[in-house]
Structure 1
Amino acid sequence: MRKILISTTLLLAAALSATAAHALDASETPVVVTPLASRTETASGQPITLPQKNVQVLVSSYEIAPGATLPVHKHPFPRYAYVEGGTLQVTNVETGKSTTYKSGDFIIEMIGQWHQATNVGADPVKLLVIDQVEEGTKNTVLRQ
């Protein structure tokens, strides 16, 4: 499990740490790396911290219909999302601050803060979501 965590962390760090798109040596390897993000904080300015035991990586795709608003919720563990399509507005209900994300943006969601998201565009929002949780737990808590 430790090797999986280290491998996952290294892959995520490598994907997020590059500063410009570049070929790995296009003459030998037809691979182009395009950096999408490099962050050390969540969307609300918190330092990114990982679960302390038995880390499990969950990968999901989400599709949010135009005009749909997700219920108020929070995440106890890190959640990362790549916006594949659409326009999503995320509002921290504790501070009232909203941020709008569009296709190609990378979101590092706030941890332990109540927020909600609304598809503010005419097209479905498509997200690739990566969660890092303590094994066997969920990463979304709905406000009652």
Structure 2
Amino acid sequence: MNNYSLKALFLALVPLTLQACTTSSAPTGIERSLLLQSSASWDGTRYAHYPDSAPELSLLKLKIPANTELQWHTHPIPNAAYILAGELTIESRDSGQTRRYKRGEALAEMVNITHRGKTGDEPVELIVFYAGSQGIPLSE
């Protein structure tokens, strides 16, 4: 599936998702599970604000090999991830704080805080949703 198809699918699902999330009961036959709702990252740091330009949403599926240590990086925009397979440990460089996430868990990522992820003995597969703006990188 190409990027255009993924964006079209995502945009087609947004109204249904918003309806299910904002009504007291979901339409018949639809199961609703709130995976994550947060105004702070996993380490408790509150999100300050969104970019001041038109929004651009990005949805990525990542596969990280087993026993991989990612490079230190930051995200300039809010994002959240859902672990499809494996276990991922996230470490903050400055505080040394760590937290492990496993299959079926969601996490609110850090913004403008240097961190990295580490996989264990199994590969990790995750979906990451970024709420940014055109021209703003997803990570640095």
TM-score in terms of structure 2 length = 0.78
Equivalence for 2:109: 109
Q: After the TM superposition, which parts of structure 1 deviate over 4 Å for at least 4 consecutive aligned residues?
A: none
Q: Any stretches of 5+ residues in structure 2 without a counterpart? A: 1-13
- 1:41 paired residue number: 40
Corresponding residue SS for 2:135: coil
Q: TM-score, normalized by length of structure 1? A: 0.76
- What CA deviation, in whole Å up to 9, does each residue of 1:82-122 have, x standing for no partner? 111110000000100000000111111111010010002x3
Percentage of pairs with the same residue: 23
Summarize deviations over 1:20-45 as a string: whole Å, max 9, x none: xx9735xxx21111221222211122
Tell me which amino acid in the other structure corresponds to 1:41. Answer: A
Backbone CA RMSD of aligned residues: 2.7
Runs of at least 5 residues in structure 1 that lack an aligned partner in the other structure: 1-7
One-letter amino acid of the structure 2 residue matched with residue 24 of structure 1: A
Return the alpha-carbon distance in structure 1 between the equivalents of residues 78 and 55 of structure 2.
Answer: 11
Per-residue CA distance 1:2-29 (angstroms, 9 max, x = gap): xxxxxx6xx57x75x89xxx9735xxx2
Amino acid of the structure 1 residue aligned with 2:130: D
Alignment of 1:1-144 (within 5 A): 15=21, 24=26, 29-48=28-47, 49-120=49-120, 122-141=121-140
Aligned residues: 126
What is the letter of the counterpart of residue 47 of structure 1? Answer: R
Q: Distance in 2 between matches of 1:40 and 1:78?
A: 10
Structure number having the greater strand percentage: 1
**How far apart, in 1, do the equivalents of 2:102 and 2:51 lie?**
28
